[in-house]
Structure 1
């Protein structure tokens, strides 16, 4: 674990949570933390309370918890990029279909899709789902156009095409209004955002990541015992880049707080397998060799939206001789959730993708609220834990070059 183990007991912690590609305002995460932490505390037998944050800075909340006889104070901040997500989703229906064909071409023509299929089927199916769903919607709209124009031709001639096309566009608009349940447009925008520069970080996101790095650097100069960065879903690869920049800038102090990195339900290969992701691959390689932090990656085969148990450094083909991280662990939903809860959730794919942030019935393997508000650092908590035997470490990516 980290060589900076200077804090035998944690009493103060800063937590920075980096969400995935999510347009929802950050207050949703506070409410999720409040309700799920209370449920986990009841199951596990400790005390925890959440209160509103005062003062400026990023959106967040205060947590007070008493675990194992120790009172711990934690400030949880959400590193927000939901405004960037919303801007990337504000496309018309025709623009979304143009995105579809560009994104599909990027992953297919570069060979990235074929390589990704060698890892986990779940996230690849999730990536193909919006393509299939949007094409099915388009096909129905075309069929509607042809049928209506044929029915109206005896009365309006070729002018019957005008109301037929209008009706078809109305059908597509209706499907888009249903996307809160279908998720086709949402997922299409997600994959398109990663693929539009073939793996490079867009300028607007790069600027936001620099601000994240500055916030974490400031926290590392404070009097807390641990600074914990949590990256969920797409937030995992953003966290990798943020911490790599911090290290390059000399942001770690030998006598400062412990620096810990927890990635949950990561989808790193969706970006790192693209040809122009040299910066991300360099960041993965750098972070994996650091002795001054702890990096734990948690996922579960039951989460079909993540590359479960795939070592993001190794499968991206950038694992060097000095590689130490991440420690790849399984949340094992079939074991950590009761049979009743697993049965209720197993087909709710998006809900399961957020399970890492929620309460577990059998939390011995993994407890998000002990990690974020308990008296042990991430390194102490998983000291001596063997990595999952089912992890994937084969170098699969076709593109392995890194930015010098």
Structure 2
């Protein structure tokens, strides 16, 4: 990694693509504001946020002095939360049907068992909503049985069967109570997340493809406006969207050789959850394509401590689509939470799995060479910052996906 600070970036456009998240993007602005302040206090630089003015995606402006370089950055969120909310608007019965369909697709396609050969954490996270929803249904059925038994005990024998049937009336309110409190257990949320990709067997739904075309145009316009760097950050399932968006951008000739540097930072990626499905041909083709391109730099950051990500799994290689020659990307590195967080901080966060999945966007009290705020508001491009940085020795590059066909 290049340890000599140099200023090649004075203006930067950053496009953050969230994962499957129904929440308004202001949460990301507040997270950036709070965590950048904490990181600046630890690392000794200056960073300040101001409201974004003008049209375009939701965002904010950043003025920073890092490594003796002053940088102006505009950070914008490429929002698809409305699509997420629409996909989550199903009823309780439909969610249980989704659960059965999703499990069936992952099992019969062979994807589930291949995923288990990579990392257990994200597979457990995928199975969690199944077990939790089944447990909720079991509790509801037991309460319905108890209600039916109580009614049958006090009513005449001739009304015993109607009493047992009346006990089933307990089912809807119990299941509705569980769903109302899902913000504490996230079973419905995770089920909808996995079901969204599974229902099309890995192909992008039409409404998502349309939104991705919009994102491609927005990034192309930013490149045409001439900042020093355009940085695309794909977090969680936003990483696989970014792979296809950037592939489309490059294929369309949107990256000029003498234009701004184009960079791609994938964080906490879960690409195999989609690329291992049979109809994810477009994604596999885009992974194959992007891994060879000189028009951009691609750094993939995960951490074994993040149980929701496929940590240190090269998304191109494990999907079985590495080119025979000429593979450039991604550079797979670890955020090494157990090293970059103090023992006290690690102890505090270790079992907060969803919080750890967002740690890539947060401050580290023992920072290493990965620092989200230096990358998004510092004076070097992504390629320069990680120039000479070796890939993680413990990365996984074995081709594991059961499906490797690519879109023509």
Shorter-chain TM-score: which interval? over 0.9
Structure 2, unmatched stretches of 5+, are: none
Aligned structure 1 segments of 4 or more residues deviating by more than 4 angstroms: none
Distance across 2 between alignment mates of 1:162 and 1:170: 15
Distance across 1 between alignment mates of 2:250 and 2:7: 24
Q: CA RMSD in A?
A: 1.1
Corresponding residue for residue 135 of structure 2: 136
Corresponding residue for residue 355 of structure 1: 359
Work out whether residues 7 and 69 of structure 2, in 8 Å CA contact, stay in contact via their aligned partners in 1. Answer: no
Matched, 1:217 2:216: no
The count of residues paired between Structure 1 and Structure 2 equals 399
Distance across 2 between alignment mates of 1:261 and 1:164: 56
Matched, 1:227 2:230: yes
Work out whether residues 22 and 85 of structure 1, in 8 Å CA contact, stay in contact via their aligned partners in 2. Answer: yes
Work out whether residues 141 and 172 of structure 1, in 8 Å CA contact, stay in contact via their aligned partners in 2. Answer: yes
Work out whether residues 336 and 365 of structure 1, in 8 Å CA contact, stay in contact via their aligned partners in 2. Answer: no
SS of equivalent to 1:228: strand
Matched, 1:402 2:406: yes
2:173 aligns with one of 160, 170, 173: 170
Corresponding residue for residue 279 of structure 2: 276
Query: CA offset at residue 162 of structure 1?
Result: 4.9
Work out whether residues 250 and 295 of structure 2, in 8 Å CA contact, stay in contact via their aligned partners in 1. Answer: no
1:246 aligns with one of 249, 260, 273: 249
Matched, 1:201 2:171: no
- Deviation per CA, 1:323-365: give whole Å up to 9, x if none: 1100000000000001100000000000000000000012222
- Deviation per CA, 1:44-96: give whole Å up to 9, x if none: 00000011111111000000001122110000000000000000000100000
Corresponding residue for residue 4 of structure 1: none
TM-score (norm: length of structure 1): 0.97
Corresponding residue for residue 124 of structure 1: 123
SS of equivalent to 1:221: helix
Query: CA offset at residue 150 of structure 1?
Result: 1.9
Query: CA offset at residue 8 of structure 1?
Result: 5.6
Distance across 2 between alignment mates of 1:162 and 1:44: 65
Corresponding residue for residue 343 of structure 1: 347
- Deviation per CA, 1:79-117: give whole Å up to 9, x if none: 000000000000100000000000000000010000000
Corresponding residue for residue 258 of structure 2: 255
Structure 1, unmatched stretches of 5+, are: 2-6
TM-score (norm: length of structure 2): 0.96
- Deviation per CA, 1:177-235: give whole Å up to 9, x if none: 11101110000000000100000000000000000000000011112000000000000
Listed as ranges, the matches of 1:321-400 within 5 Å are 321-400=325-404
Distance across 1 between alignment mates of 2:161 and 2:216: 60
Query: CA offset at residue 248 of structure 1?
Result: 1.1
Corresponding residue for residue 105 of structure 1: 104
The farther-off stretch of 134-143 and 83-92 is 134-143
Corresponding residue for residue 78 of structure 2: 79
The farther-off stretch of 182-191 and 166-175 is 166-175
Corresponding residue for residue 269 of structure 2: 266
